[in-house]
Homo-oligomer: A and B are copies of this chain.
């Protein structure tokens, strides 16, 4: 049984880590540290866990957290983790849900986040936490930079097609549709019900910061790449669907493309390759750590269309973070996570 703490437990990502750890047989919740709503009963902050957690959110005391935690999840705004991790004992394993430890070097971080990276040395102890691409690295890392929600969906849709050589690494189009919880719990006009309900729009395009992670990972897969990424907000709470369009490297059949997906994900515990005529729908993953993928080929244009659906707060954040904890700590990868989603 490990002692596990969550810093940033009053936000959606942190709260979801707490929910998942309640069902994890090897995790004992130790500190629930909040930046907002400090000192409130946790069951007021997250009314779903009433009856499970009696305590209150704590203010941040890094030494206290480090003293009695084996694993710490950080669910904080970008740029905070890199100042906080050095204050934790280096015996403590860290899963950071923000961007601070997602890049292999400071320059890429600084280019996309417009701020200096102040813990560059720690990047060497860090792995990019997409288990389907970097399982071995994650296992031996002390720090995991948990991927962004959009990169998780986009990369899982693209990787089999680049690895297999079926698709060209240029002119890739990533069109993603996200629920509103991805924008976080802070109130803004971007998250106001009346502004986003019965509405759909693109935002931060071109140039959304998740492009940085996607770029770094695509380069690892295929060298020089070119792509465009356009996120959209749609009126739902949870879920991301990434629809990715790739140009074929040679004539590609649907069967060949599907074979590449089955080969890539045949042994994966949390990626489900849809067969038959079904296409991924976010609702099939609601509340679960699954990523549902499928692929089609347009016979007119030859374009390959790959789909990936996730729950942005689970496989796109907290669930993947727990999956990474399992890998780092030597637990079975599915421990506490193999639960079907809600439908409908």
Chain A residues with a Cβ under 8 A of chain B:
12, 15, 19, 22-23, 41, 44, 46-52, 170-173, 175, 177, 179-181, 185, 187-189, 191-203, 205-206, 211, 215, 226-228, 230, 232, 234-239, 241, 243, 245, 247, 272, 274, 276, 278-288, 290, 292, 296-303, 305, 307, 309, 339-344
Contact = CB atoms under 8 A, between A and B. Distances in A.
A177 B205 CA distance: 17
Contacts of A48: 283-286, 288, 340-343
A200 B247 contact: no
A344 B238 contact: yes
A80 to B, nearest CB: 22
A269 B181 CA distance: 30
Contacts of A215: 300
Contacts of A276: 41, 44
23 contacts: A12-B194, A19-B340, A23-B339, A48-B283, A180-B193, A193-B197, A194-B237, A195-B283, A197-B197, A198-B236, A198-B283, A199-B239, A199-B282, A200-B241, A201-B279, A201-B280, A202-B241, A206-B297, A228-B245, A228-B298, A228-B300, A235-B235, A245-B245
B23 A239 contact: no
A339 B140 CA distance: 32
Contact of A198 (B237, B243, B339): B237
Q: Which 6 residue pairs across A and B have the least CB separation, nearest first? A: A47-B284, A201-B281, A48-B343, A187-B187, A199-B283, A206-B298
B307 A202 contact: yes
A344 B303 CA distance: 36
A287 B282 CA distance: 16
B191 A279 contact: no
A201 B282 contact: yes
Given A192-B193, A197-B197, A206-B305, 6 more contacts: A19-B340, A48-B283, A191-B194, A193-B193, A199-B239, A215-B300
